[in-house]
Amino acid sequence: MRNLIFEETDVRAPEYASSHLRYAWESIRAPVIIPLLKLAVILCSTMSIMLFVERVVMATICAIVKVLGKKKYRKYNLDVMKQKLQRNKRYPKVLIQIPMYNEKEVYKLSIGAVCGLSWPSDRLIVQVLDDSTNPVLRELVELECHKWIKKGVNVKYETRRHRNGYKAGALKEGLEKQYVEDCEFVAIFDADFQPDADFLWNTIPYLLENPKLGLVQARWKFVNSEECMMTRLQEMSLDYHFTVEQEVGSSTYSFFGFNGTAGIWRIQAIKDAGGWKDRTTVEDMDLAVRASLQGWEFIFVGDVTVQNELPSTFKAYRYQQHRWSCGPANLFKKMTKEILFCKRVSLFKRLHLIYAFFFVRKIVAHWVTFFFYCIVIPACVIVPEVQLTKKIAIYIPAAITILNAISTPRSLHLLVCWILFENVMSLHRTKAAIIGLLEANRVNEWVVTEKLGNAKKQKNNARSPTSRISWFQILERIPIYNPFTLIKTIHPLEIIVGMYMLHCAIYDLLFGNDHFFVYLLLQAGAFFTMGFGLVGTVVPN
């Protein structure tokens, strides 16, 4: 027996240096790689099933709500509530906050839209919270505010000598102003959001009718969804967020994450929740969770839309996704204990917050997409001893993808492009989620999403009116005579993962018995495309 256990292996060290890598691979393949890969398959398959079940449950609830007409806001008769408000003429005083930071291209759009809201002028305060560091731009924003003041709008231009707390700090200090004390509601619009004139008439009646209601959230409408392929694919992801996630949360749990803009809060709900906090980069979600734990209810009104701009440059989109992925993971770490031991809400709602809202949607969804689809499954190609069933490797991912994409019917033909794009972005989202959980470097990084606004419109107007620009255009030409332009667009992580997937694709093509290399080649191409920055709108300096 002893001789069998300690029998010397027949594998001998190669004599040629070119074979060292193969020897090292064969040495660790059976004792290390295969067991670790099997464990990874089990963990990722479990998370994939968790995500699949959560998607099916939400899709089922959403379908039932739509078929039966049980959307929460539909139980109110908005027209009757408007008439009642007009008869009583007891208009609540409303504060509108517009936080901005060096918003050169869009500040006029947002200030103009908000100042054009239909509401009694003596019951409305527009508060422009300008944290801009550009003194020239500050003067321009202040001049724009004075222009509307002369037209009879009560505009307050507020600046700070610091950016403590970033957006959360600005909103918090804005609510502490003395002239806000008699305001009952506060609506928030980021600098690129342009509400319709009847926004307040379509949201405030819900708050007046239900004293338990703390937040009314409107839907986003994208003005540049056809700017390029990247914005079209973003629209597909965000449509699912509004059509399914927020609609289901509103109709069943009376809770969903505040989107940070295009919503109107009852100020008392903000106070009960402890006010704005800057402990994470998702101050909006933080406030929503704390307000929910105080018993406040939320409602999502899908019929009310607010125009805004999607990030159309890859750099801006990466920064945005880092903040949107890192912040929730960090908040999950900070609030799990508080949620679990909160006695003001039901156990079911607490478990929903911890498991479905945070763990599955904010952690598992990113990890499955990257580790399973981009690392583990390709690894099974070059380690055939570890086999995946079709249900786990093909059918469940396909079902999840279809459930996500049906929210944007007009873009179903872009399904393959959307899958490839989301898989590449999962690299950054997974990294950001890990940073948030570990509270590592960049956990509190706040980079304002770059917006093109008027610059983009002027560029489009400069084109010939007879020329047609297809939204299939992924990039605009980068001057080949400037090598530094290309160097700045290289993203090493995407290129490394792309090389890994290309290697797996070639191996499968040469030695595999399936056609999995087709997916691997497409995915490797997507990683290379985004790794070299050849996606989105490239705006020259």
Residues annotated as part of the active site: 131, 284
CB 505 within 8 A of CB 524: yes
Instruction: Please state, in angstroms and rounded to a whole number, the distance separating the CA atoms of residues 201 and 191.
Output: 21
Q: What residues have CB less than 8 Å from 275, skipping those under 6 apart?
A: 172, 175
Copy the structure tokens of residue 538.
């490239």
Phi first, then psi, for residue 214 (nearest 5°) are -105, -20
CB-CB contact of 191 with 103 (8 Å): yes
Q: Tell me the backbone φ, ψ of residue 163, rounded to 5 degrees.
A: -120, 35
DSSP output for 256-306: ----SSSEEEEHHHHHHTTS---SSS-HHHHHHHHHHHTT-EEEEEEEEEE
Other Cβ atoms within 10 Å of 165 Cβ, number = 19
SS (H, E, C) 308-369: ECCCCEHHHHHHHHHHHHHHHHHHHHHHHHHHHCCCCCCHHHHHHHHHHHHHHHHHHHHHHH
Q: Under a CB-based contact definition with an 8 Å cutoff, are residues 139 and 102 in contact?
A: no
- CA 332 vs CA 118, 319, 325, 358, 359: distances in Å: 39, 20, 11, 6, 8
Round to whole Å and give the CA distance between 195 and 258.
17
Strands 94-100, 185-188: pairing is parallel
On whether the CB atoms of residues 276 and 287 are closer than 8 A, the answer is yes
User: DSSP states of 449-506 as a string?
Assistant: PP--HHHHHHHHHHS-TT----TT---PPPPTT-HHHHHHT--HHHHHHHHHHHHHHH
Tokens 């806000």 correspond to 180
Is 282 exposed, middle or buried, given 0-12, 13-18 or 19+ CB atoms closer than 10 A?
buried
Q: How far apart are CA 147 and CA 141, in angstroms?
A: 10
DSSP state, residue 23: H
Q: Which residues neighbour 301 within 8 Å (Cβ) at sequence distance 6 or greater?
A: 73, 202, 203, 206, 216, 217, 218, 219
Quick one: tokens of 433? Answer: 């989620």
Which DSSP letter does residue 195 get?
-
Strands of the sheet with 155-159, listed across from one edge? 155-159, 124-130, 94-100, 185-188, 263-266, 213-222, 297-308
Q: Residue with structure tokens 């005579």? A: 481
Would you call 200 exposed, middle or buried from its count of C-beta atoms within 10 A (0-12, 13-18, 19+)? Answer: buried
